[in-house]
Structure 1
């Protein structure tokens, strides 16, 4: 019982310290892949699977909602990276990357380049979101 209480206090301290904006390496969901329309569903699932196979905690949002709405929801969830897939990205085999706390997108990344970026950020002690 005492051990669980200590763990709960520790988690509470982490949440308070980071105000819910956990660094990438500590975030329970590190990235979410978003589609613009249903045409990209298969590619979104493929990207999600590749990133999960590389060891990252990645979810996806395949709902038939406007992309702006989905992005706002994910920002409210404080997900470190949002990966947006449209027709162009699907054709090129890339994703458009948006990092939490930055106004501009980071640009378009291949999946391998994104895995390299995530590996750099996945080091404990890295404070960047």
Structure 2
């Protein structure tokens, strides 16, 4: 199965928690994105982060937000983009603005 553009992907964002402490924040972000009509899922399973990232890559999810203790303290999210890998930490608002731009312009 090919990789769909962000605006048509069945799951646009996968929120990955690194620890049990960050699982609640991951679910909050998932709920916030879903309330904004983005298709998001969270993965709060007790698995290694590399495994979760690999699974999301195999599912061809356009964006992954990784939430660890550092992100929990700073309020930022670590963003991974399909095909580009880690694009760095940014505020959740900045990520949502970037996602909105990709979806609204139907960027490939």
TM-score by length of 2: 0.94
Alignment of 1:63 onto 2:49: no
Deviation for aligned residue 1:25: 0.3
Task: Name the residue aligned to 1:95.
Answer: 77
In the aligned structure 1, how far is the partner of 2:71 from the partner of 2:25? Answer: 9
Moved over 2 A (4+): none
Q: Which residue of 1 aligns with 2:60?
A: 78
2:28 — aligned with what? 46
Contact 1:48 1:59 in 2 (8 A): yes
Q: Distance in 2 between matches of 1:27 and 1:87?
A: 29
**Which structure: larger Rg?**
1
Give TM-score scaled by structure 1 length.
Answer: 0.79
Question: Cα offset for 1:124?
Answer: 5.2
Per-residue CA deviation, residues 95-115 of structure 1 (Å, 9 max, x unaligned), is 100000014x11112111111
Q: Please report how far the alpha carbon of residue 44 of structure 1 lies from its aligned counterpart in structure 2 after TM superposition.
A: 0.6
| Structure 2 stretches lacking a partner, 5+ long | none
Work out the CA distance in 2 between the residues paired with 1:121 and 1:41: 27
* 1:112 match: 93
SS of equivalent to 1:51? helix
The alignment partner of 1:24 has SS state of: coil
